[in-house]
A = this chain, B = another copy of it.
């Protein structure tokens, strides 16, 4: 078993998963509390993608905690392949969701100047949610690289 930072079944891996879970939940919270988000397909997709991320990271956090408790090795090729596929899929979906929402936000805030002229649009909440989605993507990208590295060297 390799004690790489963030590898499955290590304390750093568990912390990384818990971090992903918390930031993604905060992103969902900020978006869901913004009035009128459901009028935008991209913002609904952001919530769906962050929801999937929470489920995936929470599942792996539980697995990491269990492995740490019973001191079990999680780094078999089959398990690591599964983690790699899941991590890459959720990472790509998170980046896609964050970027499509950011595209709309830049359009509203900069190109059309709606954030100033139409104060009923909760721009700041949207922006906080999108920023948190980007942080989630960054954290899951770290996990994805570590998993891929582990798989290639297993």
The reply to whether the CB of A100 lies closer than 8 angstroms to some CB of chain B is yes
When chains A and B are docked, how far (Å) is the Cα of A153 from the Cα of B23?
33
* Interface set, chain A 131-154, CB cutoff 8 A to B: 148-149, 152-153
Complex Cα gap A111–B99 (Å): 17
Question: How many copies of the shown chain assemble into the complex?
Answer: 2
Q: A33 contacts the other chain (Cβ, under 8 Å)?
A: no
Closest to A148 in B: B148
Interface residues of A in 55-105 (CB under 8 A from B): 92, 95-97, 99-104
Give chain A's interface residue range (CB within 8 Å of chain B). Answer: 20 to 34
Binds B, one of A4-12, A24-32, A35-43, A117-125: A35-43
Please indicate the chain B residues that have their CB under 8 angstroms from the CB of A15 in the complex.
none
**CB within 8 Å of B: which residues of A?**
39-42, 92, 95-97, 99-104, 106-107, 110-111, 148-149, 152-153
What are 22 A-B residue pairs whose CB atoms fall within 8 Å in the complex?
A: A40-B107, A41-B106, A41-B111, A42-B106, A42-B107, A92-B95, A95-B95, A95-B96, A95-B99, A96-B99, A97-B99, A99-B99, A99-B100, A100-B100, A100-B102, A100-B103, A100-B106, A102-B103, A104-B104, A104-B107, A152-B152, A153-B153
